[in-house]
Amino acid sequence: MENYKAVNRSKENGSTKSLLNKGMVPGVIYGKNTTPSTIAFEDKILQKLMHSGGFYSKIIDLDIEGTKEKVLPKQLQYHPVTDKLIHFDFLRVQNDTKVTVEVEVIFLNKETCPGLKKGGVLNLVRRLVELNCNANNIPEKLEFDLITSEIGDAVKISNIDLPEGVKPAIIDRDFVIATLAPPTVEAE
């Protein structure tokens, strides 16, 4: 895992506006029963991390002027007019920290799925599933194989193999993630 450099924010670094003008984004790290830390992170690196996929479910290793921190992205704030990133919140985590994250669901074998070959439509009810797990055990993605799925089938959370120690945030019911719906338009 790569270490990303960040700097402590102080009066010497300048105001929030001057940090943004220098290509740095101000932010805060909180959690783990410690005092929140104010830091600044390079905008280019943050943008690269954000667009690499699964940003809110990836642990980031930070090097803050020699101090190592493991953080989980929690919130990003944008300027209301320019849509430029102006602030971030990171949660400080350890390996045994319990976290709630949203993880993407990927469907395999769409091209060979019998229900889709017959003209069925994969209707996604949830693209992301909220999971409770330890910070060191966050799955990158959840997968479901459509190889035997027919029209009328429903993919529920119980059909997806979750890693050990990972539980869905919704525990009172077996919720639907996707359905294979019949075609809505008849061929002429």
Phi, psi of 12 (to 5 degrees): -65, -30
Check residue 186 and give its pLDDT. Answer: 60
Residue spans of the chain under pLDDT 70:
1, 185-188
Check residue 33 and give its pLDDT. Answer: 82
Check residue 188 and give its pLDDT. Answer: 64
* Strand positions, DSSP E, 43-120: 60-64, 67-78, 85-92, 98-108
Which amino acid, one-letter code, is at 163? P
Torsion of CA 22, 25, 31, 34, to 10 degrees: 20
Check residue 169 and give its pLDDT. Answer: 92
Check residue 168 and give its pLDDT. Answer: 94
**Residue 135, Cβ neighbours under 10 Å: how many?**
19
Q: pTM of the entire structure? A: 0.75
Q: ∠ at Cα 31 (28, 37), nearest 5°?
A: 30
Answer whether 112's CB lies under 8 Å from 147's CB: yes
What's the pLDDT tens digit per position in 96-151? 888 899 999 999 999 999 999 998 999 999 999 999 998 888 898 999 999 999 99
Stretch (H or E) spanning 174: none
